[in-house]
Chain A
Amino acid sequence: MIDKNSTTLLSIKNLHASINTTEILNGINLTVKSGEIHAIMGLNGSGKSTLAKVLAGHSAYEVTAGTIEFEGKDLLALPPEERARAGLFLGFQYPIEIPGVANTQFLRLAYNTIQAQRGKDELDPLEFDDFVREKMKLLDMKPDFLDRSVNEGFSGGEKKRNEILQMALLEPKLSILDETDSGLDIDALKIVANGVNQIAHKDNAIILVTHYQRLLDHIVPDFVHVMQAGRIVMTGDKKLAMELETRGYDWINADQRLATGVNA
């Protein structure tokens, strides 16, 4: 959904990041505007998930060079909770279990924290219950989700739905969905994709991190980026994803060697 009145939400320039002195990101450049859906594809170890975590502010990674601006502000200066409050959301590849904490308690605390940040009313437990149940319909979730401990004993599909439920509740400006499609059967994939499509609108943006084309059958990206060795080596539209599906990542390898040669 590319809109001519769109504004720049995210601007990444020459981003380098490492973990335990091993460089994982090696000069990322990416601009995301409101209303856009981007897909980032690539093999395991290409740096896709690292990029997602660095954007969210995971402390294990050190940014060694480059800048990230979020709505014109220096994102790297903010701790993770401030980034979240500013409207950046990460849908986790492996959502974390928090034993003994009721899902509804967690969801309400997160919701109210964001609401408070936006100067909006917080909801008491009863109001929130009505509100969250409405959102859960979007993802075909059973009410008992609310009483269970956060992600504990959830199936893979349930965990991913719980992530998208949080996205629906928190209404982020930018959502990064890290391999949301992994571990989902086709029915669950459709439900999750449908949820994401309903949340997407002209004022927010989504980055899908994925291995496979199949998610992109249901959520159609405006841009597809291919990552390799910590860089974006190719950018195209949804046709690029289909090409990858048929020709495999080796095709990029060959192509990228040429590209590097030209750019060097």
Chain B
Amino acid sequence: MSAGIALFSGNHLHLSEVDFMEKELRISEHPVLDFSPGDKVQFWFEGEPVTGYLGEPVAAALHAAGIRVLRYSRRLHRPRGFYCAIGNCSECLVEIDGEPNVRSCITPLAEGMRIRRQAGEGRAIADS
């Protein structure tokens, strides 16, 4: 997963997000829990390749890769990430395979997904 740093060492990643990745975010061992992730898959975020695990929420895969800004707010264009992680609050809306307003916190990751940050009400940044 350290690949996440290398992949995003360019202008995508702000300094704070590099700090944030100072250590692996994936938990490899836990005193109470056993994690059994799905297969490793590649997907695309803002055109860059990222890896995650099949079936985990898109927001979790992005977070583990050091990506926390999921969209920009409608009027003030402020960065937003997830808040509730269980599909209640709609802070984590992204565009997936051309469809805007997808709740990334409860959408299972699939191979080859093309994910973009959402701007405002759902127009993808790349198109603006």
Q: Do A and B come from one complex?
A: no
Which residue numbers of A lie inside 8 Å of B, CB to CB?
none
